[in-house]
Chain A
């Protein structure tokens, strides 16, 4: 993969510093809410809050130097990753309705198709082989409790 020089080291440090600060506030609030003494539930959130404050100071005082980083993603690569993420989320939403076999087939077909070098027919057949093979192995063979869906498979 092509690599380019990055000039965003300090920007990233500032961002991570702000995230640390926000998390420190969250930890202190949780620690305060649960505080019952030094051996209580609020100790660890408090300690982690302190750690985040130290980190926020660290990022402010010692910002990261500009270091080489991966080249920006091309449009097709970005689209491929987003497609897999969205397909995975839709898969999780539909699996209890469609069942493991059908939803896995559909998800793996979409995910395989967006990967470099795959063809529509190849992806369809490979996804079918994987989903039915895993259905037979885990659900039928090993009795694993995979979501059956409305159709029972």
Chain B
């Protein structure tokens, strides 16, 4: 009941004109980011992070969060209409959605995608409302050994994010860990891997790395592709809208995918892209209409969209309660919180209740805004893909500079962004996934901090772990997850397609 009281106070704050305006702006920008392939929520949030710097923390994070979940909504539009998924998480939506559009059922596919996204978003937000504070109170009793176990568990997810080659994925993660160690040692203040270069003492900025790897790389890829615009394909005819029978048929898929998407999304490493593939495969197994999956089943569209939207809301659970970002998008959002002096983790619900509950309240409102934005204006959004790419690419270049420079007023950081743009492009050419690099970069300082504290507690060894059952549990869970991921990888089933898509992103 206390949560409901806090949530209603959060709603009251979120419904002020300023917060509502930023939620609307975030939803608009997020939908745009979602519609445009390549420019994912990670790059979108990183680019706009400095734009929010002049705002107070609450509207800024409301806007950044709206960009994140708005991108999940927007990604399905071009996937259904022209078979160009705006996001990795929409790749699976295109499988059935585009087939439906080709049969003149684009209106029904878009409607079910929007309704499923709304249902999933709402269910996941209810889960977030009740589950996150409970998890935060459990997390408060966790010490350095438990947190170390939890981070090892999170690191095991690198296997899931490694793309088709595990070795290349681990190589990428090791690069991230190495980059994360550059600068002053967080405990003793000794310079590491700085090689006498003074600006490196401050470490390599996460935003510069993310902007380089995801935004600048996208510009290079667009030049390499030689494409004038993302697509010049004509929109398919709409014909009939969603019928009541179709809505009833897909309702079960919406509920199942929302529940499963939320549960999976609470786990570190489970990005909406990965989860949508897993849930789609699961739904295909239980659906009465499984035979039509892949050839235009409306349940397939509902399952894919439900899963990715539930997962995107669930991704807030580990970030807010444990201070562990489950995906790169959440890492950017987390760095936004840190810039504003807010430390995500179990204490945030106690120390900053107004902030947390206003953001959660705004997400409920954003969910409704997105439904309104996506259903009537879908044709308008789809036209964005015909905009000449040089307009978008030069905007990305400009925001790469402003976004990276304004974080620390450092031209060195902009240079770092350029270097990581080149590295990201080379990694893309060599089919090495950049996601583990970012995850390694984010988790390294946390891992090192808790490792050294645990060693300190054990008098110079890790023996203290043996006395902490929760820590042992997390470590065991990490090994089990790694084993399952390796098994699925060896089996090469549905997940392999997903890993391919993640890498291609």
Quick check: is B402 within 8 A (CB to CB) of the other chain? yes
Verify A111–B220 contact, CB threshold 8 A: no
Could you tell me the distance in whole angstroms from the C-beta of B274 to the nearest C-beta in chain A?
21
Interface residues, chain A, with chain B CB atoms under 8 Å away:
1, 12-13, 16, 20, 23, 26-27, 30, 34, 36-41, 43-45, 48, 51-52, 55, 58-59, 62, 64, 67, 69-70, 73-74, 76-77, 80-81, 84-85, 88-89, 91-92, 95-96, 104, 107-108, 111-112, 114-118, 123, 126-127, 130-131, 134, 138, 142-147
> Chain B: which residue is nearest A96 at the CB level?
B411
- Known A-B contacts A30-B193, A114-B223; A123 and B390 likewise in contact (beta carbons under 8 Å): yes
Verify A116–B224 contact, CB threshold 8 A: no
Size class of the B contact interface (CB-based, 8 Å): 35 or more
Could you tell me the distance in whole angstroms from the C-beta of B475 to the nearest C-beta in chain A?
16
Residues of A within 8 A of B429 (CB): 69-70
Could you tell me the distance in whole angstroms from the C-beta of A99 to the nearest C-beta in chain B?
13
Interface SS, A side: helix
Quick check: is B393 within 8 A (CB to CB) of the other chain? yes
Residues of B within 8 A of A116 (CB): 223, 226-228, 389-390
Verify A145–B409 contact, CB threshold 8 A: yes
B133-141, B283-291, B299-307, B449-457: which lies at the interface: B449-457
Give the complex CA separation of A151 and B50 in angstroms. Answer: 25
Quick check: is B181 within 8 A (CB to CB) of the other chain? yes
Residues of B within 8 A of A138 (CB): 402, 406
Give the complex CA separation of A131 and B170 in angstroms. Answer: 40
Give the complex CA separation of A64 and B190 in angstroms. Answer: 38
Verify A41–B418 contact, CB threshold 8 A: no
> Can you give 25 contacting A-B residue pairs, CB < 8 Å?
A34-B190, A36-B188, A38-B455, A38-B461, A39-B460, A41-B192, A43-B455, A44-B448, A48-B177, A48-B178, A55-B171, A55-B174, A58-B170, A92-B414, A92-B415, A111-B219, A117-B229, A117-B390, A118-B388, A118-B390, A126-B391, A126-B394, A134-B398, A138-B406, A146-B405
Could you tell me the distance in whole angstroms from the C-beta of B186 to the nearest C-beta in chain A?
9
Residues of B within 8 A of A39 (CB): 452, 455-456, 460
8 Å CB contact of A23 from B178, B395, B418: B178
Residues of B within 8 A of A45 (CB): 181, 192-193
